[in-house]
Amino acid sequence: MAVDLTPTEGMASAARRGLELHDQGLSGDGLKPETVARAGRLSRREEMNEDWVREMNAWFARHESSKSPGWNEPPDYSPAYVAWLLWGGDAGQSFSARKVEELDRQNQRSARMDAVIERRHIALEDEPEGLVLEKRADGRPVIQGYAVKWGSLSVDMGGFRERVERGAFDKVLSRSYKKADPIALFNHDGNIVLGRMSSGTLEVTADDKGLAYRIYPPASRGDIVELIERGDVRGASFAFTVEPKGESWEPGDGKPTRSIREASGLYDISVVTNPAYPASTTSVARRSLEEWLASQEAPAAEPEPAAVQRGLLPAAAASMRLRAAILRSRTC
């Protein structure tokens, strides 16, 4: 949930009083015009942004020492007192300190979430249905395709392969309007929004083939539609999370295979210029793979004579073959 940065009534009241004193010529000569303009916005309780809140908190910290006996006594109000009011007064000081703490906590949560979010990509040449542009009857474009096909085995992702099982996103989609609310983006950029599920401009469904999506981009993003038409944009991608209980591993044919049975989150569907698998997109899965490999190690026990003669127990030998496959893939 986003941090509410709407100024309080106490801040608005202080700003209005500060503006009155400023109009009476009591603010001194060093006041910046921006401070007066912002005070006007505070007086109307216009929503602030994170940078403004952090700047406000820093300003109050720097000017706390400006408080002095009689600085707020009429008729000779101190210019420092007028500036204090224009920044929201005591209410603004406590508000900005509290909101900075909330923003820091939110950013920490976002950083933790970024550490576990995974992204997967589909290139047009690999999956023709991954990204398709159509026109509605009214001429407006629809971007549609499949973010993933059920049961389709991925390319080598750095020592392992992956498939998404049918039904993996059923639980997420059943609650998406209330909690997840996926958005459609360009290149996973939160500043370039193409649609949102809760607003009806993004539709995500699980059908017989896979995880299907339909994006209804705004007219202001005609440049991206043109890039898709020209073939400059090469595929689609989606961001998701999986808890340990929602995945399983198996040796596979030469490389371990990860099966995703149940996703715990779906965050965005993106059209992307360069579908690829950079290391950062698979780091979570690789950690899971390493944990699984460690669990496959044979327990320390007295081996049977025949096994000793062969040199290795079957489980240990299988684990070593898997590790060797990963090492070979890293050097290719």
Residue-range definition of the domain harbouring residue 315: 296-331
93 and 132 fall within a common domain: no
Highest mean pLDDT (candidates 14-18, 61-65, 209-213, 256-260): 14-18
> CA 100, CA 61: separation in Å to the nearest integer?
13
277 and 306 fall within a common domain: no
Q: Which residues of 208-243 are buried (b: 16+ CB within 10 A; e: fewer)?
A: eebbbbbbbbeeebeebbebbeeeebbbbbbbbbbe
305 and 168 fall within a common domain: no
151 and 182 fall within a common domain: yes
**What pLDDT does 90 receive?**
96
Residues β-bridged to residue 133? 143
260 and 313 fall within a common domain: no
102 and 75 fall within a common domain: yes
147 and 191 fall within a common domain: yes
| Segment 230-285, tens digit of pLDDT | 888 878 888 888 888 888 988 877 788 889 999 888 888 998 887 654 433 444 45
Domain count across the chain: 3
Q: What's the predicted TM-score (pTM) here? A: 0.52
Domain stops at, among 116, 135, 157: 116
| Segment 298-323, tens digit of pLDDT | 454 444 444 434 444 444 444 455 55
Q: Tell which residue, 6, 172, 217, has the closest CA to residue 98.
A: 6
Give the residue, 6 or 120, on which the prediction is more confident: 6
**What pLDDT does 304 receive?**
45
Give the residue, 273 or 217, on which the prediction is more confident: 217
pLDDT of 85 > 80? The answer is yes
pLDDT of 109 > 70? The answer is no
Q: Is residue 4 part of a domain?
A: no
Residue 86: how many CA atoms within 13 Å on its side-chain side?
26
Residues in the chain, overall count: 332
Only one residue has tokens 């216009």, namely: 46
Long-range contacts from 74-82, C-beta under 8 angstroms, 24+ separation? 77/21, 77/26, 79/26, 79/27, 79/28, 79/30, 79/31, 82/18, 82/21, 82/22, 82/26, 82/27, 82/28, 82/31
Range with lowest mean pLDDT among 98-112, 139-153, 262-276: 98-112
Domain stops at, among 61, 87, 116: 116
Output phi, psi for 253, to 5 deg. -95, 85
**What pLDDT does 120 receive?**
78
Cβ proximity of 188 and 121 under 8 Å? no
Q: Tell which residue, 190, 187, 214, has the closest CA to residue 271.
A: 187
110 and 141 fall within a common domain: no
Q: Largest Cα–Cα distance of the chain, in whole Å?
A: 101
**What pLDDT does 309 receive?**
41
Domain stops at, among 100, 116, 132: 116
Sheet holding 189-196, edge to edge: 118-123, 235-241, 265-272, 183-186, 189-196
| Segment 62-80, tens digit of pLDDT | 998 888 888 988 888 999 9
